[in-house]
Chain A
């Protein structure tokens, strides 16, 4: 699994971008997106995914079940 950002919820506040330990978050077409190939769910870096912890709108950074669980 990787995390994804629900575009309709995102306020473009940029807070998650700078916190991502994998530089997986970037701005695209007026909203922020997570590159699933880079996302490690913060495993090995932090106890909780940083984007989830800082996001000012609940249920915006969510697990994307399309991708298999990240293996550290």
Chain B
């Protein structure tokens, strides 16, 4: 299928001066609207003051490229690209469970025409859906015909929707000009290594020039192609996000080198994700007992790489057919049968009006947060984590028992910073809590001092308190960051008054198994 074309345009003058782009990226200290409070990860809240106008325009409503945007805007993936050109030890294409949320997994594959219809159906139902991505379930660029035909159809019927794709990078240099032609201005490359010695333990083989190559040789070609592709994207002013899977003992320390390599080539954002590895997935890593990182190990690596680079910490490692806000999956509402039966009315003006309302809501959130930034000096060097139950919009608006995940914020003298999320599945099933499920939640947020919820029952409240995690429902339906900081000041005052003693919390677990209940 894909001949190894050497694009002749690569040798010609680049469309964008790479030095200029690099300078702008270097000047841009994160996507933060907060300014002043130090390094924002893109990570953290976002605003036009911190970056060049054209980059802000690209990321402001992209939930994967802006942490702030992900509370308000939704994305969808269409599974039009089933073929893949490499094999990864963390992937098993035979495993496909409707209740599992994980890259490479889908329930059905679509033709470009079906995908286009699906995009219209979802955009009409979810007006805050702003981004369409092709992320597999194989590699989009190993299916170039289907991928670019899908982009073409969607750009005709819904020109306001941003297009993006996620690739392993092997075929990327061959398709950069096609990517630019369809105005795909966000490309994610999964780069797990820049050293073939490391890579040979992650990739058993690649398909290259009509042969299956293995070991060091395969990994060497892969890394060369990935980095060349990244440089070509940067030259053309296409924003690149780098995804890296953190595999303890294999590439965990090496990812610092990867971070430097991609930063120097103009990558906009680095997303270090925990390995998902359970025996029932049937992956090589799952079967050989390779573990994923703990919450603390992951955060420590992300913090180490943060330096001058935006780190993404809000990735949900979603399915190749996911629909909705990042923390939710509404794909079950949009199966092919349901879409074909839907009457679709694409209302571009209505979508615009809705999104303007979202912008207003977002600004209100940022203003609310600013109001609590003063008076945090008492924190000194103290940093604590808190968990939040939320359905989105930046508000504490989820019942403890209904939360499928908790968002994690770090509170310090600098303010409140989003640092991650923990999947917990559904603790509450059929209206009553279950002991084992509550244990799962406690393990997942064990590194937190408090959990903010809209509502919580008496039993879990007592158990959380016994585990040293303070359940807080006093800020129900209020802004997350403002509430967390208000509570933090109260905590600091109590510590100062000697009413309580500040202690460090332990580590937490990153959940690995399949979802027990389908997202509602």
Per-position binary interface string of chain B over residues 375-391, scored 1 when its CB falls under 8 Å from any chain A CB and 0 otherwise: 00000000000000000
The answer to whether A14 and B83 touch across the interface, beta carbons within 8 angstroms, is yes
- With both chains docked as a complex, state the minimum distance between the C-beta of B83 and any C-beta of chain A, in angstroms: 3
Instruction: Kindly count the residue-residue contacts between A and B in the assembled complex, taking CB atoms under 8 Å apart.
Output: 48
* Residue among A46, A48, A57 making CB contact with B93, cutoff 8 Å: A57
The answer to whether B212 and A13 touch across the interface, beta carbons within 8 angstroms, is no
Cα distance, A71 to B329, chains bound together (Å): 53
Main secondary structure of the interface of B (DSSP, over half): loop
Complex contacts, A12 vs chain B, CB 8 Å: 82, 109
The answer to whether B1 and A13 touch across the interface, beta carbons within 8 angstroms, is no
Cα distance, A70 to B82, chains bound together (Å): 30
- Chain A residues 25-42 with CB under 8 Å of chain B are none
Per-position binary interface string of chain A over residues 1-22, scored 1 when its CB falls under 8 Å from any chain B CB and 0 otherwise: 0000000010111110011000
Complex contacts, A54 vs chain B, CB 8 Å: 83, 85, 207, 212
The answer to whether B210 has its CB under 8 Å from any CB of chain A is yes
Cα distance, A13 to B137, chains bound together (Å): 9
Complex contacts, B93 vs chain A, CB 8 Å: 11, 13, 56-57
The answer to whether A13 and B210 touch across the interface, beta carbons within 8 angstroms, is no
The answer to whether B84 and A19 touch across the interface, beta carbons within 8 angstroms, is no
Cα distance, A13 to B212, chains bound together (Å): 17
Closest to B142 in A: A15
The answer to whether A18 and B212 touch across the interface, beta carbons within 8 angstroms, is no
Q: Knowing A57-B93, A57-B94 touch, does A15 contact B211 (C-beta < 8 A)?
A: no
The answer to whether B229 has its CB under 8 Å from any CB of chain A is no
Chain B interface residue count, Cβ-Cβ cutoff 8 angstroms: 18
The answer to whether B87 has its CB under 8 Å from any CB of chain A is yes
Contact count band on A: 10 to 19
Cα distance, A13 to B83, chains bound together (Å): 5
* Residue among B137, B138, B212 making CB contact with A53, cutoff 8 Å: B212
Complex contacts, B207 vs chain A, CB 8 Å: 53-54
Q: Knowing A11-B93, A13-B138 touch, does A47 contact B82 (C-beta < 8 A)?
A: no
Q: Knowing A13-B82, A13-B84, A15-B138 touch, does A53 contact B210 (C-beta < 8 A)?
A: yes
- With both chains docked as a complex, state the minimum distance between the C-beta of A48 and any C-beta of chain B, in angstroms: 6
Cα distance, A53 to B82, chains bound together (Å): 16
The answer to whether A15 and B94 touch across the interface, beta carbons within 8 angstroms, is no
Closest to B213 in A: A53
The answer to whether B143 has its CB under 8 Å from any CB of chain A is yes
Cα distance, A14 to B84, chains bound together (Å): 9
Complex contacts, A13 vs chain B, CB 8 Å: 82-84, 93, 137-138
* Residue among A15, A19, A46 making CB contact with B82, cutoff 8 Å: A15
The answer to whether A56 and B211 touch across the interface, beta carbons within 8 angstroms, is no
The answer to whether A47 and B211 touch across the interface, beta carbons within 8 angstroms, is yes
The answer to whether A14 and B143 touch across the interface, beta carbons within 8 angstroms, is yes
Per-position binary interface string of chain B over residues 197-213, scored 1 when its CB falls under 8 Å from any chain A CB and 0 otherwise: 00000000001001110
The answer to whether B84 and A56 touch across the interface, beta carbons within 8 angstroms, is yes
Complex contacts, B137 vs chain A, CB 8 Å: 13
The answer to whether B1 and A19 touch across the interface, beta carbons within 8 angstroms, is yes
- With both chains docked as a complex, state the minimum distance between the C-beta of B255 and any C-beta of chain A, in angstroms: 25
Complex contacts, B85 vs chain A, CB 8 Å: 15, 54
The answer to whether A48 and B84 touch across the interface, beta carbons within 8 angstroms, is no
Cα distance, A48 to B207, chains bound together (Å): 11
The answer to whether A53 and B211 touch across the interface, beta carbons within 8 angstroms, is yes
The answer to whether B212 and A48 touch across the interface, beta carbons within 8 angstroms, is yes
Closest to A15 in B: B83
The answer to whether B84 and A15 touch across the interface, beta carbons within 8 angstroms, is yes
The answer to whether A56 and B87 touch across the interface, beta carbons within 8 angstroms, is yes
- With both chains docked as a complex, state the minimum distance between the C-beta of B104 and any C-beta of chain A, in angstroms: 10
Q: Knowing A13-B82, A14-B143, A18-B1 touch, does A48 contact B211 (C-beta < 8 A)?
A: yes
Complex contacts, A48 vs chain B, CB 8 Å: 210-212
Per-position binary interface string of chain B over residues 94-125, scored 1 when its CB falls under 8 Å from any chain A CB and 0 otherwise: 10100000000000010000000000000000
Cα distance, A19 to B211, chains bound together (Å): 11
Complex contacts, B143 vs chain A, CB 8 Å: 14
Per-position binary interface string of chain A over residues 44-58, scored 1 when its CB falls under 8 Å from any chain B CB and 0 otherwise: 001110100110110
A-B contact pairs, 12 of them (CB 8 A): A11-B96, A12-B82, A13-B82, A15-B85, A18-B1, A19-B210, A46-B211, A47-B210, A48-B210, A53-B207, A54-B85, A54-B207
What residues of chain B have their CB less than 8 Å away from a CB belonging to chain A?
1, 82-85, 87, 93-94, 96, 109, 137-138, 142-143, 207, 210-212
